[in-house]
Structure 1
Amino acid sequence: MLAFGIRRLTISLCVALTVSIVAFFLLHMSGDIAQAIAGTDATPEQVSQIRVQFGLDRPLVEQYLNWAWGVLRFDFGTSFYFRDQVTTLIAQRLPVTLALGGISLLLALIISVPLGVLAAVKQGGWIDRAALMFCVLGQALPTFWLGLSLIIVFSVTLRWLPVSGSGTWAHFVLPSVALGWYAIPAVMRLTRNGMLDVLASDYIRTARAKGLRMPTVLFKHALRNAMIPVVALAAVQFGFMLGGSIVVEAVFSMEGLGQLAWQSIARQDFPVVQAIVLVLAVLYIGLTLLADILNAILDPRIRIA
């Protein structure tokens, strides 16, 4: 198990290094950063002065190495627009995004896993057909449209929940529904297909022939093996939620990492954009690593292979 974890950790570190290199060079190749900082009305002398001030006149490789050394010390530089440390900005906004993503994933799992189990047990019945229709509906509704509809119904019309903000738990209800809605179809279909494969296996037929009750067969024997791919998908979906929260946070005006990314992109605040891309990538890679380890614990064949 230790060797398996070391191999996965090595691969994860290589992927994180690659992401940092690609993100840094792509952002620097997207335009003249010194011109973006100075503004369109700046003179060539002012642009040249800013380029020297921020070290933009040095070779890109040297700039990357200086930035990477700062990242290792949790120093992402200073924001061009906010005039504050990027680390401070991310530390202030990241908890909101993590809370939103965690609640959304939990909501998606609570709905999709039991629905997938029921659809597999009642294969071909009205529950199965209704679950599949629900999946199609879930993938067809855009997140921003669903968020706006929830605001109109539950905030404007019924006045049950707040429209925007992130101060209390009530502010996370509607955004979590809007963000978690898109993950429900994928998890539900994977749970259903996994349960169908497991229920058709020999050991399940043997367990039922021995007279075990159906709930015991489903939840003690079948669901554990069917959940192996779901664990990996849940980690991937959580990463997608963290990266895709920019739309939901913009709709509900939440002070999270997604809204900070949108503000930084609009204002060409490159240090903040670089840091957000790297932080989200590292979180995504870490979640994938955790999913691999959990799958290896659930199924020893994975780490043996």
Structure 2
Amino acid sequence: MIGYILKRLGLALLVALAVSAIAFFLLRLSGDIAMAIAGEGAREEDLAIIRQTYGLDRPLIIQYADWLWQTLKGNFGTSIYFKTEVSKLVLDKLPTTILLGFLALGFALLISIPLGVLAAVYPNTWIDRLALAIAVVGQALPNFFFALILVMIFSISLRWLPVSGSATWLHFVMPTIALGYYVAPAFMRLIRAGMIEVLSADYIRTARAKGLPAGKIVFKHALRNAVVPVVALTAVQLGFLLGGSVVIETIFALDGLGYLAYQSITYKDFPVMQIIVLLLSVVYVLLTLASDIANAWLDPRIRVA
């Protein structure tokens, strides 16, 4: 098990390093940092001074090595637009994004697990078709469009929920539903497929022959084994929720990391953009690593393989 963990950890570090390099070079190709600092209409002489001052006239590989070294030391630089330390900005916004991600994940599991179980217990019935229809709609409907529908219904028409901000728990209701419903279909289909497979196993038929209650068979024996693949998907989807909250946070003006990413893109705040991309990539890689370790612990066949 230790060897498997070390192998996966080494691979995760290589992935994180590759992502940081790709993000750095792509952001450099997307615009001129000196122009973002000096502003539109700056003279070429001023741009040359800024490039020399910030080391932007050096080769890109040297700039990347210097940026990576400073980042590893905890020096994330200063925001061009907000005129404050990037680390402070990120730490102030990160809790909101983490809260939204876990709320959305909880909402997705709350609706997908019962639907997946019901669809598997009653296959090829109207219950199964209804669950599949809900899943298809959730995957086909863009989350930003669904968010706008929620705003029209619950904020504009019914006036039940606030449309923007993050001051109270009511501000998180619609963002949680919009973000969680988009990832729920993947959980529902996986649980349905796993439950159908497990319910046809020999030990389930033996449990039925012994006269065990149907609820105990479904939830104690079948669901426990069918939920194992959900562990890996949960980590992946949580990483997607944290990184994919940019649109939802922008629509609802949540004061989180996603909205900060939108602002940094708008104002060409390259230092903030780089750290956000790196942070979300590292979190995604670490969550995937955690899911691999959890699956290896739950299923010894993975360790042997």
TM superposition score category, shorter chain reference: over 0.9
Question: Hey, what does 2:269 align to over in structure 1?
Answer: 269
| Structure 1 residue identity aligned to 2:4 | F
Instruction: Report the alpha carbon displacement of residue 67 of structure 1 after superposing the two structures with TM.
Output: 1.0
> What is the distance in 1 between the residues matched to 2:68 and 2:140?
41
Instruction: Report the alpha carbon displacement of residue 52 of structure 1 after superposing the two structures with TM.
Output: 1.2
Q: Tell whether the 8 Å contact from 1:204 to 1:222 is kept in structure 2 after alignment.
A: yes
Instruction: Report the alpha carbon displacement of residue 209 of structure 1 after superposing the two structures with TM.
Output: 2.1
Alignment of 1:1-305 (within 5 A): 1-305=1-305
| Structure 1 residue identity aligned to 2:241 | M
> What is the distance in 1 between the residues matched to 2:206 and 2:9?
39
Report the TM-score when normalising by structure 2: 0.96
Q: Tell whether the 8 Å contact from 1:100 to 1:176 is kept in structure 2 after alignment.
A: yes
Instruction: Report the alpha carbon displacement of residue 176 of structure 1 after superposing the two structures with TM.
Output: 0.2
Q: Tell whether the 8 Å contact from 1:79 to 1:86 is kept in structure 2 after alignment.
A: yes
Q: Where does structure 2 lack aligned partners over 5 or more consecutive residues? A: none
> What is the distance in 1 between the residues matched to 2:6 and 2:52?
42
> What is the distance in 1 between the residues matched to 2:42 and 2:127?
65
| Structure 2 residue identity aligned to 1:256 | G
Instruction: Report the alpha carbon displacement of residue 73 of structure 1 after superposing the two structures with TM.
Output: 2.0
Instruction: Report the alpha carbon displacement of residue 157 of structure 1 after superposing the two structures with TM.
Output: 2.2
Instruction: Report the alpha carbon displacement of residue 203 of structure 1 after superposing the two structures with TM.
Output: 2.1
Instruction: Report the alpha carbon displacement of residue 129 of structure 1 after superposing the two structures with TM.
Output: 0.7
> What is the distance in 2 between the residues matched to 1:114 and 1:286?
29
> What is the distance in 2 between the residues matched to 1:74 and 1:210?
61
Q: Tell whether the 8 Å contact from 1:120 to 1:128 is kept in structure 2 after alignment.
A: yes
| Structure 2 residue identity aligned to 1:136 | V
Report the TM-score when normalising by structure 1: 0.96
> What is the distance in 1 between the residues matched to 2:203 and 2:73?
52
> What is the distance in 2 between the residues matched to 1:219 and 1:289?
28
Instruction: Report the alpha carbon displacement of residue 16 of structure 1 after superposing the two structures with TM.
Output: 0.5
- Return 15-24 or 143-152, whichever deviates more: 143-152
- Return 268-277 or 224-233, whichever deviates more: 224-233
- Return 156-165 or 88-97, whichever deviates more: 156-165
How many equivalent pairs are there?
A: 305
| Structure 1 residue identity aligned to 2:217 | V
Instruction: Report the alpha carbon displacement of residue 82 of structure 1 after superposing the two structures with TM.
Output: 0.9
| Structure 1 residue identity aligned to 2:192 | R
> What is the distance in 2 between the residues matched to 1:90 and 1:77?
12
